[in-house]
Copies of this chain bind each other. A is one copy, B any other.
């Protein structure tokens, strides 16, 4: 990263010389994200120096770029008074997130140091669930009267100088603060200066309620290509907006969460892939899941124990235990992925469930037939035993059919029960299907045992 290294050198030089103007210019001339990374690389003494020289609004921009954990580290180094000053300059959504992560005592101390108005606003934002539209929204948005001309609106914007992320739509509300219109900054610029806002505003406004799940909010924005979406309370009063940068983060976290859940390493908490987490803490997160699967694994073993007599007589049957179990798991995971993917992209709705189950049942029959025939021939040739080929092939056929169905129905049921189906992840479906597959296998083998001995 030569660019960042160069930036770091420039920074350290400016800090050492305590050249305030140069520091401010460096911060203003570069991306806040890049500067924020440098904030984490330099040591506490250098940070202290930097915090003395930079204005609070610039510090707010930098702190907004950091993860929650890094934010807590940084503010633990500065006084509550300074923190309050920086908070005042932050977007309300970022400020609320930061304050929400503090322990109760520290939070009260900070809120007491803020303006009454700001403290009330933050307290209100903190009441929304973290994963809802209310928890994601900022209360900074631009409202203009519908009787304004485009030119007056532009003058007002110039006066307000709102943040970049909140300026791209202007909202129109009635006397009860209900949302009645929206127009984009582009519409405002393109319209003639004397055009009245009411004439160019868009009246069928798409808005989201405060309690909508954040992933759904992101989906609405993605679907309609919005840069921001207004959030309304139960009386349709405009209370905030969710901006595209936050929606992007939600979608990005969703990628990461889904992968984590598929692997059974826990979804919600970030940081399992954080290299700074030690082996012990990383293991601690995975062990409960593995221990559970260990116990279920003993259940598969118990199936085999039930058929010990069969196995004792036809020991070659043991050879195909992993193949049957794995194939059951693999095909179940494929169906699971289809369901989870469809639910994640919002392509399924409830009533499609039955169609999907029927389709997957068909898939199960086809892949069962193809793989069953294939293994019959292979086993018959390998072991020079046509009956063994038949038993293995027939068992696989039945197993793949039921395994496909289980991989479809289990996540759909979970979704219906409001359990995240991505948690019905690979290992879980695999284990269920193992038990299914082994039971079918040994039942079939026992039935045809006379031909195998």
User: Residues on A close to B: CB < 8 A?
Assistant: 29-31, 33, 154, 157-158, 161-165, 167-168, 184-187, 189-192, 202-204, 206, 221-225, 227, 244-245, 247-249, 251-252, 254-256, 258-260, 262-265, 272-275, 277-280, 282-283, 286-287, 289-291, 293-294, 297-298, 300-302, 304-305, 308, 311-312, 315-316, 318-323, 325-327, 329-331, 333-342, 344-345, 347-348, 352, 355-356, 359-363, 365-367, 370-371, 374-375, 378, 382, 422, 426-427, 430-431, 434, 438
30 A-B pairs (CB sep. < 8 Å) = A29-B203, A31-B224, A33-B225, A157-B189, A157-B190, A158-B189, A163-B186, A167-B186, A185-B189, A225-B248, A254-B255, A255-B255, A255-B345, A256-B344, A262-B262, A262-B333, A263-B337, A263-B426, A273-B338, A273-B348, A275-B347, A278-B359, A278-B362, A279-B360, A279-B363, A286-B334, A289-B330, A301-B321, A315-B315, A333-B427
A366 (CB) vs chain B CBs: closest residue: B283
What distance in Å separates the Cβ of A359 from its nearest Cβ neighbour in chain B? Answer: 5
Contacts A251-B248, A318-B311, A318-B321 given; does A366 touch B167 at CB 8 Å: no
Taking a contact as CB atoms under 8 Å apart, the answer to whether B318 and A304 are in contact is: yes
Which one of B189, B290, B315, B355 contacts A312 once the chains associate, using CB atoms below 8 Å? B315
Taking a contact as CB atoms under 8 Å apart, the answer to whether B225 and A245 are in contact is: yes
Smallest CB-CB A-B distances: 8 pairs? A263-B337, A279-B362, A297-B323, A273-B342, A283-B366, A300-B322, A225-B245, A301-B319
A168 (CB) vs chain B CBs: closest residue: B168
Interface of A is mostly: helix
Taking a contact as CB atoms under 8 Å apart, the answer to whether A367 and B290 are in contact is: yes
Contacts A304-B321, A345-B252 given; does A297 touch B327 at CB 8 Å: yes
Which one of B31, B326, B365 contacts A430 once the chains associate, using CB atoms below 8 Å? B326
Which one of B311, B338, B362 contacts A265 once the chains associate, using CB atoms below 8 Å? B338
Complex alpha-carbon distance, A181 and B248, angstroms: 26
Complex alpha-carbon distance, A44 and B38, angstroms: 59
What distance in Å separates the Cβ of A385 from its nearest Cβ neighbour in chain B? Answer: 13
A325 cross-chain contacts in B, Cβ below 8 A: 322, 325-326
A374 cross-chain contacts in B, Cβ below 8 A: 291, 294
Number of this chain's copies in the complex: 2
Taking a contact as CB atoms under 8 Å apart, the answer to whether A326 and B297 are in contact is: yes
Which one of B278, B365, B426 contacts A333 once the chains associate, using CB atoms below 8 Å? B426
A313 (CB) vs chain B CBs: closest residue: B315
Complex alpha-carbon distance, A393 and B407, angstroms: 30
A286 (CB) vs chain B CBs: closest residue: B334
Complex alpha-carbon distance, A325 and B324, angstroms: 12
A355 (CB) vs chain B CBs: closest residue: B275
Which one of B204, B248, B260 contacts A29 once the chains associate, using CB atoms below 8 Å? B204
What distance in Å separates the Cβ of A239 from its nearest Cβ neighbour in chain B? Answer: 22
User: For A265, A325, A337, A427, which residue has the most chain B Cβ atoms within 10 angstroms?
Assistant: A337
Taking a contact as CB atoms under 8 Å apart, the answer to whether A341 and B426 are in contact is: no
Taking a contact as CB atoms under 8 Å apart, the answer to whether A298 and B323 are in contact is: yes
A331 (CB) vs chain B CBs: closest residue: B290
A272 (CB) vs chain B CBs: closest residue: B338
What distance in Å separates the Cβ of A403 from its nearest Cβ neighbour in chain B? Answer: 11
Contacts A189-B158, A227-B244, A275-B359 given; does A286 touch B367 at CB 8 Å: yes
A280 cross-chain contacts in B, Cβ below 8 A: 362, 366
Complex alpha-carbon distance, A327 and B286, angstroms: 12
Complex alpha-carbon distance, A287 and B325, angstroms: 17
Taking a contact as CB atoms under 8 Å apart, the answer to whether A265 and B323 are in contact is: no
Taking a contact as CB atoms under 8 Å apart, the answer to whether B265 and A334 are in contact is: yes
User: For A302, A330, A355, A359, which residue has the most chain B Cβ atoms within 10 angstroms?
Assistant: A330
